[in-house]
Structure formats: structure tokens, C-alpha cells
Amino acid sequence: MNVLTWIIIGVIAGWLASLIVKGGFGLLGNIIIGVIGAFVGGWLSTSLLGLPYDVTGLNLISIIVATGGAIVVLFIFSLFRR
């Protein structure tokens, strides 16, 4: 995947996660949360849960995995924010 694909997935995943968790950080923050969420979601789904899903490109599965990871990242971030 190239950098543009990571940014697009980051924007979508970060935005969806901010809607679900009810906290937003703007466009740049959503990109960062989404890209970190893609790494976290990919690691959680493959290594921890043993699922065959990973962030492999600009497709629905990658967006779902990245959004799940971004939700986890936002939840952990909210624990330290308090």
C-alpha cells in the first residue's frame, strides 16, 4: 500500500471511530488516529484473534479493521485523558 492509501483509510477510519466514540480531533487528528488504528486493528485481528483479516488496501474489510483499531485507540486515549 502506498502513503495515499494509508491516508485515505486513516481519514475514513478516524472519522467513523470519532462518530462511534463521540470524540473528534479534526482532519489531521482523524488521519493519525485512523492510521494508528489500522496498525492496531490489523495486529488485533491477525495476531490476537487469529482472524484472516488485515489492512491490505482500499477495501471494505480494511476500513472495518482500521475503524475497529481506531475505536480501541480512542478508548485507550480517553482513559489517559481523564
Average pLDDT, the chain: 86
Question: Is residue 72 pLDDT above 90, yes or no?
Answer: yes
Amino acid at 14: G
Domain span including residue 36 = 3-81
Query: From CA 51, how far away is CA 81, in angstroms rounded?
Result: 31
CA dist 34 → 16, 24, 54 (Å): 9, 11, 14
Q: Give the tens place of pLDDT for each residue, 59-70.
A: 898 899 999 999
Does pTM top 0.85 for this prediction? yes
User: How many domains does the structure of the chain reveal?
Assistant: 1
Question: Is residue 29 pLDDT above 90, yes or no?
Answer: no
